[in-house]
A = this chain, B = another copy of it.
Amino acid sequence: MAKKKADPADPKGSGYLANIAYDSVVFGFSGEKLKILLIKYHNTGLLALPGGFVGRNENLNDAVKRGLKERTGLDNIYLEQFYTFGDTARFKPEIMRTILKANGHIVNNDHWLLDRFISVSYYALINYTDVVPKPDALSDSCTWYDIDKLPALILDHTTIVAKALETLRANIDKKLVGMNLLPVKFTMKQLQNVYEAILGEKMRRTTFQRTMLGTGLLKRHEKHYSGKAHKAPYMYSFR
């Protein structure tokens, strides 16, 4: 079949579903701080959550996994859908136009990318240490930012991050949060640091240790000699 030039006003030609986008809040943990991935668009300084579109023959969840794999190189990422944002107030075609223009794309007003989008949002938990973030075609960087020192983001992305964190907090006891943010083996103190970073509050050491061991989900391994002048802690992993 001869390749025809697609009509940029018709989303079908793009291969993507119309009016639907996804955004992902990628959490990582490092240096006792909770962080998320943000991308910066070429020549604009605009910061945003990594996101994308859904192929016409692709599962929604798979589209998000695909996007994350491109950004992090990781397969089998822990993913949780938490909310779909659909207010008309998030429709600001000038922003997308600015981004496209800064990348050398001049588009008509009826281009499908300038139409209104509803964003299905996910959060991901990944092991910070085995990721080298990669930007995509439109962005010149993909970098970690401290969750409590976030810069201004485009559209409603600040709201999206807030809701992601709220959901993560609500889920911290139900889902195995620590398992996904830490290396396979970790100390009890590291695990507690993760909990404290997510909840934004200090926890009592002895109670934390008791309840964690009480779940029966942890497996104890050899001790870890850090070289510091104190008793060496055990390493643990999730069963």
Contacts and interface: CB of A to CB of B under 8 A. Distances in A.
Contact of A118 (B60, B88, B89): B60
Contacts of A61: 86-87
A87 B116 contact: no
Nearest to A121: B84
Which of A20, A58, A89 has the largest count of B CB atoms less than 10 A from its CB? A20
Contact of A116 (B17, B88, B116): B17
Nearest to A64: B86
Interface size on A, as a range, is 20 to 34
A124 interface: no
Total identical chains: 2
A120 B85 CA distance: 10
A19 interface: yes
A93 to B, nearest CB: 13
Given A118-B60, A118-B120, A120-B118, A54 B86 contact: yes
Contacts of A89: 59
Interface string A39-76: 00000000000000010111111000000000000000
Contact of A19 (B20, B84, B174): B20
A11 interface: yes
Nearest to A56: B116
A18 interface: yes
The 8 lowest CB-CB distance pairs between A and B, nearest first, are A60-B86, A18-B18, A17-B19, A84-B84, A59-B87, A84-B120, A18-B19, A59-B88
Interface of A: 11, 17-20, 54, 56-61, 81, 83-89, 116, 118, 120, 170, 174
30 contacts: A11-B18, A17-B18, A17-B19, A17-B116, A17-B118, A18-B18, A18-B19, A19-B19, A19-B20, A20-B20, A20-B86, A20-B118, A54-B86, A54-B118, A57-B88, A58-B88, A59-B86, A59-B87, A59-B88, A60-B84, A60-B86, A60-B87, A60-B118, A61-B87, A81-B83, A81-B84, A86-B120, A118-B120, A120-B120, A170-B174
